[in-house]
Amino acid sequence: MTTIPTSATTPTIGVFDSGFGGLTVLRALIERLPHARYAFLGDTARLPYGSKSRRTIARYAAQSAQFLVREQGAEFLVIACNTASALALDAIQDAVPVPVLGVIEPGATAARRASRTGDVLVIATEATVHSHAYAAACQARGLRALEKACPLLVPLVEEGWTDHPVTEQVIDIYLNELRAEAAAQGLKQDTLVLGCTHYPLLRTLIERAVRPGVKVIDSAESAAQAAVELLNGRVAPGCPILSESAAVGSDRVGGTSSPERQTEIHCFATDSVEKFERLGSRFLGRPVGHVELIDLGG
């Protein structure tokens, strides 16, 4: 495993997802580390990963990680895909010689920090819930977690109905079902984890729908924060990758901001560039620009 360069050159952070939902993780990274170079790969030709076997997912994810490291020079990888994080993190770590951070462990860690009762709820896609990766990561931190699949939320986000009465009703239905199940199990939840990279776009509606006092943990934000903390331990003080905003709350990095430096983002997809370019900006909060089509083979 190599370490992040300690020179003043701008290192490259690779972000990988099976689709483009992981752009919410990239967005959260940019907010904290605006002066890095980013390479984002969406393996859109082979999504959804959720319906595929662990072996197939490991092979796809390893190929994608190798592209980011070998072709794009990524020195640090964030796996912004819940399915790959749940089923293939080891395989990715074996496949590349750089540090790799998944999206599930940071979400569970943030839930541990936020929860006083020790009972948390998790909403995610069917595939993520089926893997029980969040429940396992929460349990490893002494939390009781109840997970619920919310299959309509991703299509509602992709339809652009992020502030729509129909979406509000669907969220209410899902959360009511989840609360009823939690009550039946005697849970006293005070934390809700958004376990899908699409859900940050629904955060306003979800926060409106939860009971008062329940904290909403956005696993995209948590993963970005964990990346900053990891980099804090690896990057030399004054390295331009860490801006002042990233250094907030840190006592290890002084952080000099370089206003003339721009965030550099390169997006790649294995298919569906049109949809990526059209919808991606909603997730990234800025134009994704040109998305380059690449071929990773079968």
- Catalytic residue ranges: 81, 196
For residue 19, the minimal CB distance to a second copy (Å) is 10
For a second copy, the closer CB: 52 or 112: 52
Using CB under 8 A as the binding rule, the residues of this chain from 102 to 131 that contact a second copy are none
Which one among 4, 146, 170, 217 touches a second copy, defined by CB under 8 A?
Answer: 170
Residue 177 in the binding site for a second copy (CB under 8 A): no
With contact defined as beta carbons under 8 Å apart, do 84 and 49 qualify?
yes
Nearer to a second copy, 169 or 262 (CB): 169
* Segment near a second copy (CB under 8 A); pick from 61-69, 86-94, 151-159, 281-289: 151-159
Of residues 8, 136, 140, 173, which one binds a second copy by CB under 8 A?
Answer: 173
- Based on the shown chain and the rule CB under 8 A, indicate whether residue 53 belongs to the binding site for a second copy: yes
Query: How far from 253 is each of 4, 35, 149, 246, CA to CA, in Å?
Result: 15, 14, 39, 9
- Give the separation between CA 164 and CA 44, rounded to whole angstroms: 27
Among positions 5, 45, 229, 277, the unique one binding a second copy when judged by CB under 8 A: 45
**Contacts with a second copy, 256-275, as mask; x by CB under 8 A:** ---------------xx--x
Nearer to a second copy, 29 or 170 (CB): 170
Regarding 148 and contact with a second copy (CB under 8 A), the answer is no
* Count of residues in contact with a second copy, rule CB under 8 A: 23
> Residue 291, Cβ neighbours under 10 Å: how many?
22
Residue 173 tokens read as 């239905």
Residues in contact with 259: Cβ distance below 8 Å, sequence separation at least 6, in sequence order:
none
Least distance from a second copy to the Cβ atom of residue 159, Å = 6
Nearer to a second copy, 159 or 207 (CB): 159
Rounded to the nearest whole angstrom, what is the least distance from the CB of residue 97 to a second copy in the complex?
A: 27
Q: For residues 97 and 151, which CB has a smaller minimum distance to a second copy in the complex?
A: 151
Q: How many residues comprise the chain?
A: 298
User: Which residue stretch of 163-171, 214-222, 253-261, 281-289 sits at the interface with a second copy (rule: CB under 8 A)?
Assistant: 163-171
Q: Does 298 bind a second copy (CB under 8 A)?
A: yes
* Whether the Cβ atoms of residue 296 and residue 268 lie closer than 8 Å to each other: no
Binding residue (CB under 8 A) for a second copy from 169, 185, 245, 262 = 169
Residue 158 touching a second copy (CB under 8 A): yes
Question: Which residue's structure tokens are 């859900």?
Answer: 199
Interacting residues with a second copy (CB under 8 A) = 44-45, 47, 51-53, 56, 151-152, 154-156, 158-159, 165-166, 169-170, 173, 271-272, 275, 298
